[in-house]
Chains A and B, each alone.
Chain A
Amino acid sequence: MMSKLTVQERTGAMMISALVGLSGLLMAAAGHNDAMGAHGWIVMAFAAVMFFIVAGKLDMPEPAEDRAASYYDDPTRVGIVIALVWAVVGMFMGVWVAAQLAWPDLRFDAAWSSFGRLRPVHTSGVIFGFGGNALIATSFHIMQRTSRARMPNQVLPWFVLMGYNLFCIVAASGYVMGVTQSKEYAEPEWYADLWLVVVWVAYFVLYIRTLARRNEPHIYVANWYYLAFILVVAVLHIVNNLAVPASFMGAKSYSAFAGVQDAMTQWWYGHNAVAFFLTSGFLGMLYYFLPKRAERPIYSYRLSILSFWGIVFFYIWAGSHHLHYTALPHWVQTLGMTFSVMLLVPSWASAGNALMTLNGAWHKVRDDATLRFMMVAAVFYGLSTFEGSFMAIRPVNGLSHYTDWTVGHVHAGAMGWVALISFGSIYALAPVLWRRETMYSWKAVEWHFWLALAGTVIYVFAMWNSGITQGLMWRTYTESGTLSYSFVDTLVAMHPYYVARAFGGLLFLIGAAIGFWNVIMTIRHVPRRVPELDYPTSSEALEPAVPAAE
């Protein structure tokens, strides 16, 4: 891999690593009485590994290849493998915390192993570790192919990928040490947040510069979604994490906002993390890999325009549906509810566009588990966006909020949509990326598909049952007009569903582990084959980057 970097680029990478290591040293020195000091050591160790990987290859000869003749795929390859590692780690944490709710003593006699500290390791592990790396890696692939141009720079993509993973490691290790802002899905403390801003700006620069080099007059739909993902996540991240550190010698900080304003800002962030992290970027994946794999053009260009701007505009308003019947002013709740319901239109436009694209290719869906992953993902996307709009209606939310119904809804989206589209894309991508003939085992892909589907269905059904049961029990009255059930009564009723949920999650985890094994075996044992036409060309030449409309 290092042989593709010029000596100058290798030196540059080493200098960046040294600078990062130096900031780690500063953190370790300033925060020696605090968890920030431990983070300083982690940052230093990470930077040292990066430094020595490059330093060990510094003497290799300069690359001889013509850069303009090929795409730069090394960061994509590493990103895909890292994404799969995070998938297994994050999903394992999920199964563990789920099991703790069924059997509370399934933990160590140590503070770090409690549900409260491990739960964000699970959520950040799967959303940011698995999802984020899958997004970054596939975006590197897609932006080059649909632009028919190589990335402008070879150090920047490594900085984005590795810098982002440093953020993920600092976040996850922080939670077990008790470093958290408590803002859901924005838990990392101020120094990690600042670092992510740096990485994210680099990501945006890389993306926009690649688009600027494109040999294609139009910017393909997938790129719109990746752009929206990068831009809006930046805005959300910066605003929601505004905080004042208690000291520059420690991790603790206090949010700039309090009470009702903080609640609105947090759920404006939280819901749009769903929109722009867990939807927008993955729709980018869908719009590239689904037509490519099905060898069919996108059903409707206009529908994709409509749904894109609908999603970008409507989603932002929806956050306040997390705060129905609370101390948030009524007018904001009503706005959130209204836009959440309207959101169904662009969401279903996207899901419908994807499924209509498969017309004429349904036999492929039957035979090809990879395409089936993508098809089922589009179906779950449609189902969970319908469920989301429904749950945003105030009286429905009165029942569902604070219960497992919400948890089930999130996982219908996260497992059924986000994870399935990612796995489908990875299976479609891996042979192209590593220049292999095929995946190592198609049977394993089938196994993964059915385990993932069964796991998701079991999980979601368990949570529907537990959520609706508990919501109804909380509001059940006796004939004399008193509440029928104590809180503990309703908790006891949850036990069988919590067992079922942990089992569903376990199936999903086994599927992901099989997927990881399959990709590694593909890299190691499948004979090499270079795909045709997978190099930068001008737009008039050869065939289109994605199947064109007839």
Chain B
Amino acid sequence: MMRLIRILLRPFSKFFEFHARTHYRAERHSMALTIGIIIAAGVGGFVEIAPLFTIDETVEADPHMRVYTPLEQAGRDIYIREGCYACHSQMIRTLRDEVERYGPYSLAVESKYDHPMLWGSKRTGPDLARLGDKYSDDWQVRHLVNPRDLVPESVMPQYAFLLDRRLETDSLPGRLAALRAVGVPYTDEMIASASADAAGQANPLTSAADGVTERYGDATAVRTFDGRPDRVTEMDALVAYLQILGKLTDLPAQIQPVAEE
């Protein structure tokens, strides 16, 4: 065994010898080590990450991809705040069983406006990438209030408090402006009317509701998501977000998915 290793390593021995000698000198200089470490550790990250910003094929082109409405973005921020990503992924892989269980596999363009992405790393609960419109608003609200009322075996925490918390909408213009700064194409008008739009999307009978469809498209869902028309709650925002998951573009359905074996 040791002989085999020796024979295999022989061609490299000159290199090792050289490396060890150079190192013996270099390790007397802390700055030589510092620079060496930064260079050695810099190469991989640069080669793998930088091209993702420059190669056009990385993200599919889709002119119809829409941005999140202020209410949906507020819901997304609540999803992040509560740490939902710790148990739910939003990334359907190109595997047959996943496509059959959850729907067409996820495309890069679908999370193009997700700052940050919420692809997740663990499925203690199911994937949510195509959750939108899979269940009614009422189901979502009741499930969030107490998951075990609807799914007795569930281990998900209860989020009943979302129903009692009025949604904070004053900061929404600032949030949309920050998102525009990092690349989401919100217009000045969208930013200026963000607070009113958030309230309007959850109150179809008010005048503010018209502005939402005007700015974000006729297909935008304008409803009282939490079933209470009297006020806009955090539940409204979260359910609005859950109902848009996978529905920002219909590109995945157009590209007929061919799953890998």
- Which of A's residues lie within 8 Å of B, judged by CB? 100-102, 104, 107, 109-111, 114-117, 119-120, 175, 178-184, 208, 211-212, 217-219, 224, 227-228, 231-232, 235, 239, 243-247, 250, 252-266, 268, 272, 276, 301-302, 305-306, 309, 312-317, 319-320, 322-329, 332, 335-336, 339, 398, 401-403, 406-407, 474-475, 477, 482-483, 487-488, 491-492
Contacts and interface: CB of A to CB of B under 8 A. Distances in A.
A257 B34 contact: no
Contacts of A326: 91, 93, 106, 119
A420 B153 CA distance: 36
A475 B95 contact: yes
B48 A325 contact: no
Interface of B: 16, 19-20, 23-24, 27-28, 30-31, 33-34, 36-38, 40-45, 47-49, 52-53, 55, 57-59, 77, 80-87, 89, 91, 93-98, 100-101, 105-127, 148, 151, 153-159, 161, 171, 174-175, 177-179, 181-184, 260
B204 to A, nearest CB: 28
Contacts of B108: 259-260, 327-328
A245 B178 CA distance: 7
A211 B30 contact: yes
B126 A487 contact: yes
Contacts of B154: 104, 488, 491
B2 to A, nearest CB: 12
Interface SS majority for chain A:
helix
Nearest to A268: B45
Contacts of B177: 246
A86 to B, nearest CB: 20
Given A258-B182, A266-B116, 14 more contacts: A104-B154, A104-B157, A116-B85, A219-B27, A219-B30, A254-B175, A259-B111, A259-B114, A262-B111, A312-B40, A327-B106, A336-B48, A402-B123, A477-B97
Nearest to A219: B27
A246 B73 CA distance: 13
Contacts of A264: 48-49, 52
26 contacts: A114-B82, A114-B83, A116-B87, A180-B80, A182-B116, A219-B27, A224-B33, A227-B30, A227-B33, A227-B34, A231-B37, A255-B116, A258-B113, A258-B184, A262-B114, A264-B49, A264-B52, A302-B16, A313-B44, A314-B44, A320-B48, A325-B260, A327-B106, A329-B58, A336-B48, A491-B154
Contacts of A325: 93-95, 260
Nearest to B96: A475
Contacts of B42: 235, 316
A306 B19 contact: yes
A403 B41 contact: no
B48 to A, nearest CB: 5
A322 B121 contact: yes
Nearest to A113: B157
B178 to A, nearest CB: 4
A488 B19 CA distance: 55
A119 to B, nearest CB: 5
Nearest to B101: A483
A75 B174 CA distance: 43
Contacts of A244: 178, 181-182
A265 B119 contact: no
Residue from B28, B89, B119, B184 whose CB has the most chain A CB atoms within 10 Å: B119
A224 to B, nearest CB: 6
Contact of A120 (B16, B38, B83, B93): B83
A539 to B, nearest CB: 12
When A and B form their complex, which 9 residue pairs have the shortest distance between CB atoms, in order from nearest?
A: A116-B83, A316-B44, A325-B93, A259-B111, A317-B44, A114-B157, A255-B116, A178-B81, A327-B108
Contacts of B155: 100-102, 104, 491
Given A116-B87, A219-B28, A258-B117, A104 B148 contact: yes
Given A320-B48, A488-B151, A312 B37 contact: yes
A246 B114 CA distance: 15
Contact of A218 (B27, B84, B119): B27
Given A219-B27, A231-B38, A264-B52, A403 B59 contact: no
Contact of A228 (B37, B109, B110, B260): B37
A262 B91 contact: no
Contacts of B91: 326-327
A376 B112 CA distance: 45
A330 B157 CA distance: 36
Nearest to B183: A258
Contacts of A211: 30
Contacts of B181: 244
Contacts of A116: 82-87, 157
